[in-house]
Amino acid sequence: MTTLPPTPARKLGLVIDLDTCVGCHACVISCKGWNTENYGAPLSDMDAYGESPEGTFLNRVHSFEVTRDAAPPMVVHFPKSCLHCDDAPCVTVCPTGASYKRAEDGIVLVNETDCIGCGLCAWACPYGAREMDGAEKVMKKCTLCVDRIYNENLPEQDREPACVRSCPAGARHFGDLGNPESAVSQLVAERGGFDLMPEQGTRPVNKYLPPRGRDTLQMPALASLCAPDTSAPTPARPAQGFLGWLDRALEKL
């Protein structure tokens, strides 16, 4: 059923510490590994050994640069996966009921045998958390490793999402964000955890912890000479075939 459940009592989710993430991509690889070998369709790679390889990933690490007025610029590694939103727009748009949010713990999942691969849920997600698998043609997304966290065949210390388990910097925390007493909720309160794009009205469960203040030494004047050169964009390959003809015809108008 693609209507959203009433606010779940437990809200399992992640807290990601942007202060300690070192951008090693271990979470990306362990996520791909676990979710290829276990629940659901494997995460495929297309043209893996060709000239333009690409693949399905449920977790990706972007790196941003923040230019500050009174301090040196900082580089922030930024892991991003499904935020398991309370008001998940991806769930309500699904025409088949394949997309759903669990009432018991708030995890947003896709029932792959019901998915028609229309892609509307990926359009509805502001965060780019959903990717259509290139081989299976069904929508893939972070399951919060639902097949690990309740899995009694695994040793106790492994019953957390693969990305959390593999993070060498301890930048990822897993827990119940619906319970204000939980360790993750305390961490969010203490460090001023925030939502991504709150203006989109999705009420994400996952929270991000801001980088701590670093050195605030006087900026050397040299820094202004190091501004990135944005003047020359990389030239795009000209379109081929019918679109290429259309492009040239419109150019001549």
Partner 1 sequence: MHPAPSLILFTVLSGMGFGLLVWLGLGLRAPTGLAAFILFGLGYALAGAGLIAAAFHLGHPERALKAFSQWRSSWLSREAVFSAATLALMAPHAAASVFWDRPLPLLGWLGAALALATIVATAMIYAQIRAVPRWHHWSTPPVFVLAALAGGALLAAQLTLALWLMLALGLAMAVHWVLGDQQFALARSDTGTATGLGRFGRVRLLEPPHSGRNYLLREMVHVVGRKHARKLRVIALVLGAVLPALALLLPAGYAVVGLALLAHIAGMLAQRWLFFAEAEHVVGLYYGKR
Shortest distance, position 144 Cβ to partner 1, whole Å: 20
- Give the C-alpha separation, 47 to 44, whole Å: 10
Listed in sequence order, the residues at least 6 apart from 42 whose beta carbon sits closer than 8 Å to its beta carbon are 35, 36, 135, 136
Strands 131-132 and 139-140: antiparallel
> Rule CB under 8 A: is residue 73 a binding residue for partner 1?
yes
Shortest distance, position 142 Cβ to partner 1, whole Å: 14
Quick one: 155 or 252, whose CB is closer to partner 1?
252
Return the range that interacts with partner 1 (CB under 8 A); candidates 29-37, 53-61, 147-155, 170-178.
53-61
- Give the C-alpha separation, 61 to 81, whole Å: 9
Quick one: 1 or 9, whose CB is closer to partner 1?
1
> Rule CB under 8 A: is residue 235 a binding residue for partner 1?
no
Instruction: For tokens 């399992």, name the residue.
Output: 12
> Rule CB under 8 A: is residue 191 a binding residue for partner 1?
no
- Give the C-alpha separation, 26 to 43, whole Å: 16
Return the range that interacts with partner 1 (CB under 8 A); candidates 7-15, 61-69, 156-164, 167-175.
61-69
Provide the mask over 115-154, with x wherever binding to partner 1 is found by CB under 8 A and - wherever it is not.
xxxxxx-xxxxxxx--xx-x-xxx----------------
H/E element holding 242?
A: helix 241-252
**Contact pick of 155, 168, 228, 235 for partner 1 (by CB under 8 A):** 228
Beta-carbon neighbour count of residue 68 at 10 Å? Answer: 11
> Rule CB under 8 A: is residue 219 a binding residue for partner 1?
no
> Rule CB under 8 A: is residue 62 a binding residue for partner 1?
yes
Size of the site for partner 1 (CB under 8 A): 74
Shortest distance, position 153 Cβ to partner 1, whole Å: 31
Return the range that interacts with partner 1 (CB under 8 A); candidates 66-74, 142-150, 171-179, 215-223.
66-74
Burial status of residue 84 (CB atoms within 10 A of its CB: 0-12, 13-18, 19 or more): buried
Among the listed residues 101, 89, 99, 86, the one whose alpha carbon sits nearest the alpha carbon of residue 128: 89
Q: Which of residues 78-117 bind partner 1 (CB under 8 A)?
A: 78, 80, 89, 91-98, 114-117
Residue 132 is which amino acid? Answer: M
